[in-house]
Structure 1
Amino acid sequence: MKKILVLIITLTLVFALSACTAEPEIIEVEVEVEVEVEVEVESLAGTYVGYSWKGESSGVLLEDATQKVETILTIDNNGLITDAQMLFWKLSDGAWYTRQDSTSRISVDLGVDPVAATPGTSYAKGTSMFEVDTHDKMSLYSVAVGADGTVGLLIVEPVTRYQFEIKLPAGYDFSTLISAIPVDGTAGGFIPTVRTSSSGLMKPEAWTELDGDNLFSISYFDHVMTDAGVFDGLSASSTIKELLESVGVIFTGSVPNEMEVAYGRHSMGGWQGNYEAIAEYLIGKNVNDITSLVDWSVEKWDGAVNDDNFFGIDLEAGATKTAQDSADLIAGATVRMSRESTSFQRALVAAGILTEEEVIKGRF
């Protein structure tokens, strides 16, 4: 791309004036001259790709990784991001798939009574009403209503990462408040049947740790369930009827209508919803102004970046290995963001905005 630059050049001209005297008089005059110059400037316009991947901190190369985050940015001449996409790839049985693929195959047997899993270091799966086949259970919910009015509901709680199930028999009092329904494995309450991930923020060793809690009060961070998505606006003072209606159950009076098994994602919508939120956040931003998704000047995150620019490995006192903000969000998302930021920054390296030495390599 050619760009016209106007240069102002200051010239010093020296004149020698002769008069009748023997010695000529020297006069210096400064003159400013404007000159138009055509300069070849490389355009930013294009599509750029960046990656972060599991195992980089221990020497794993991108081509050998089994998990990676890919960022694809389309940028115009002025540096504006006109399109953005982020994908979380996982390798299984020689084939790549994305975690945000929310396709699920779910069946339910309402004749089964849910039984709590054994939590902690001796984890053992409990008894579930649901058979779930999906790439990732993040924020999953599923519900069904039998012909006799029996209801089965499954909700993956985001802090323990367990799927909590409740079976509500025909004739159940659906005006019961959520605050009155236990989550500690007590029969008739929400039963933690299956651990969907071992990396939950809370790792109970016994379900008695949840005595007195309800579905929305297991942790402060459970606010993500009611801040957005299908449960938006619900609270512990909502009724179980309101909870069921939020996931599509229709009532005739106080009786739920028969309903085939259905499913979806609560909160931000699982991986798909979070990554779509990041893309929405980026579109319209200028890459000259935003060079990271995480504000690394925040003390608790800056203190976790070591001399090799790896985050979350060597921690200073008061620092954290997780760059996450469920309340104010980071780049529009509630998920951990350091690895996503790395992928974004490497797309900027491809665009010539950053150098590899400037990339903060997040914890995968």
Structure 2
Amino acid sequence: MRNYSALLVLVAVFLFSSCEPERVVIESGTAGFDGHHVGYSWAGEANGVPFEESGAFIETILELDEDANILTARVRYWQLVDGYWTTRQSGNAHVTVDFSRTPTPATVGTNYQAGQSMFSIYTANQMSFWAVAVADDGTVAATIVEPLTRYRFEMKFPGDFDFRTEMSELTLGSGLVVPTVRTAGGAWLTPGSWEDLENRHLFELHRYSYVMNDTGVFSEVDGRSSVRAFLQAMGVEFAGDTPISMDPEYGYFGIGGWRGNYEQIERYLVGRNARSVDSLVDWVPDRFNSAINEQNQFGVDVPTGATRTVQNSVDGIAGATVRMSRESTSYQRALVDAGILNESDVIIGRF
């Protein structure tokens, strides 16, 4: 047990310290446009938690010219994991596979219980995550964190599997793809039972499933693609019809998980004038505006018909598919640091 604990400590050091920039809180400088300006939002702020005591915060750093044009933008989500500060978008992970295990489905609903998984995954966040490995006998273990349910879907193929099989045949009812572990709450799609989705496959689970292959590693893969093409997109090589042994590999599909989301925000901002972009969210729609209370807190006192979150994966607020109110708070505070907004203008998002 002591050796196992030591291994976890070493893994944590590798993931959350050696590959990360040093966590530095930048002090606010003299108000003005030219230069770097920083803003923060943090978990628990709306409930009175001080910044110094929070275990997660978002940092926005803007470089402006003298006319407030945005020259560069940096958005980072910092979180405390096992005593180490890391960014949610770091992408670092430690993955191991137990080929002796057979994946079994999780129990959904109020009595959620994880199923049996082949994978042990240690990382800050699993949004858009995929991993694959091949045993010496050609057995393939693959997993994808399906974005709408936020469950880890696992596949185990023996070396003599017919890899010409189309992905559309890998329905939830086929037993060839198994939702084993819920990686996060707040999913867009929350089935009452897996039988509700038994005739659907990974790339057509919902009308928004296109986010998996609209761009990125699976951009050439869909329901008509072969399982072989799907595995090759993740780096699996074949000798004839048999997969070649490989250690676990992992990555992030679509725009690239949290890193891709925040890069989208940064690209949206660069080249615009900060005085004309006073928020990352358009607060005019009543469903958003009516959810802001007298303390300028969003999503705390929510009337009927309003919303607690600004998560718009369809329209892509500020160029990203990410819950935006907390990121907007951090951005607005950078504008306060630049003298463009006052603190009283800042809307405290739901963190």
The question of whether the paired residues in 2 share the 8 Å contact of 1:224 and 1:326 is answered with no
Aligned pair partner of 2:47 in 36, 58, 66: 58
Aligned pair partner of 1:287 in 269, 274, 291: 274
**Residue in structure 2 matched with residue 215 of structure 1 by the alignment:** 202
**Residue in structure 2 matched with residue 23 of structure 1 by the alignment:** none
Aligned pair partner of 1:145 in 134, 146, 171: 134
The question of whether the paired residues in 2 share the 8 Å contact of 1:293 and 1:344 is answered with yes
The question of whether the paired residues in 2 share the 8 Å contact of 1:143 and 1:262 is answered with yes
Deviates more, 1:243-252 or 1:129-138: 243-252
**3-state SS, counterpart of residue 89 of structure 1:** strand
Aligned pair partner of 1:157 in 146, 155, 176: 146
Q: Which has the higher strand share?
A: 1
**Residue in structure 2 matched with residue 167 of structure 1 by the alignment:** 156
Matched, 1:107 2:57: no
Q: Which structure's relative contact order is higher, taking Cα pairs within 8 Å and 6+ residues apart?
A: 2
Aligned pair partner of 1:319 in 306, 316, 327: 306
- What code does the residue aligned with 2:207 have? Y
Q: Displaced runs of 4+ in structure 1, greater than 6 A?
A: none
**3-state SS, counterpart of residue 144 of structure 1:** strand
Q: Per the alignment, do residues 238 and 99 of structure 1 end up closer, same or farther by CA in structure 2, a change over 3 Å counting?
A: same
**3-state SS, counterpart of residue 316 of structure 2:** coil
Q: What's the offset of the Cα at 1:353?
A: 0.4
Q: Per the alignment, do residues 122 and 274 of structure 1 end up closer, same or farther by CA in structure 2, a change over 3 Å counting?
A: same
**Residue in structure 1 matched with residue 108 of structure 2 by the alignment:** 119
Number of residue pairs matched by the alignment = 321
| Counterpart mapping for 1:57-96 below 5 A | 57-96=46-85
Q: Which has the higher helix share?
A: 2
Separation in 2, partners of 1:219, 1:314 = 31
- What code does the residue aligned with 1:79 have? A
Separation in 1, partners of 2:182, 2:81 = 20
Tell me the alpha carbon deviations over residues 55-109 of structure 1, each in whole angstroms, 9 at most, x when there is no partner. Answer: 1222222222111111111111121111211111112344322111211111112
The question of whether the paired residues in 2 share the 8 Å contact of 1:144 and 1:152 is answered with yes
Tell me the alpha carbon deviations over residues 276-297 of structure 1, each in whole angstroms, 9 at most, x when there is no partner. Answer: 2211221221111111111112
Separation in 2, partners of 1:220, 1:44 = 44
| Counterpart mapping for 1:299-314 below 5 A | 299-314=286-301
**Gaps spanning 5+ residues in structure 2: where?**
1-30
**Residue in structure 2 matched with residue 192 of structure 1 by the alignment:** 179
Matched, 1:98 2:72: no
Aligned pair partner of 2:253 in 259, 266, 272: 266
- What code does the residue aligned with 1:339 have? R
Q: Per the alignment, do residues 70 and 323 of structure 1 end up closer, same or farther by CA in structure 2, a change over 3 Å counting?
A: same
**3-state SS, counterpart of residue 319 of structure 2:** coil
Q: What is the percent sequence identity of the aligned residues?
A: 46
**Residue in structure 2 matched with residue 241 of structure 1 by the alignment:** 228
**Residue in structure 1 matched with residue 324 of structure 2 by the alignment:** 337
**Gaps spanning 5+ residues in structure 1: where?**
1-41
Q: Per the alignment, do residues 272 and 201 of structure 1 end up closer, same or farther by CA in structure 2, a change over 3 Å counting?
A: same
**Residue in structure 1 matched with residue 211 of structure 2 by the alignment:** 224
TM-score normalised over the length of structure 2: 0.85
The question of whether the paired residues in 1 share the 8 Å contact of 2:81 and 2:124 is answered with no
**Residue in structure 2 matched with residue 201 of structure 1 by the alignment:** 188
- What code does the residue aligned with 1:208 have? E
**3-state SS, counterpart of residue 48 of structure 1:** strand
- What code does the residue aligned with 1:170 have? G
Matched, 1:348 2:348: no
- What code does the residue aligned with 2:46 have? S
Tell me the alpha carbon deviations over residues 253-278 of structure 1, each in whole angstroms, 9 at most, x when there is no partner. Answer: 43333322110011221111211221
- What code does the residue aligned with 2:114 have? K
Separation in 2, partners of 1:320, 1:216 = 29
Deviates more, 1:251-260 or 1:152-161: 251-260
Q: For the pair shown, which has the larger CA radius of gyration, 1 or 2?
A: 1
Q: Per the alignment, do residues 302 and 227 of structure 1 end up closer, same or farther by CA in structure 2, a change over 3 Å counting?
A: farther
Q: What's the offset of the Cα at 1:132?
A: 1.1
The question of whether the paired residues in 1 share the 8 Å contact of 2:291 and 2:300 is answered with yes
Tell me the alpha carbon deviations over residues 119-163 of structure 1, each in whole angstroms, 9 at most, x when there is no partner. Answer: 222222221111111111111100112232221101011121111
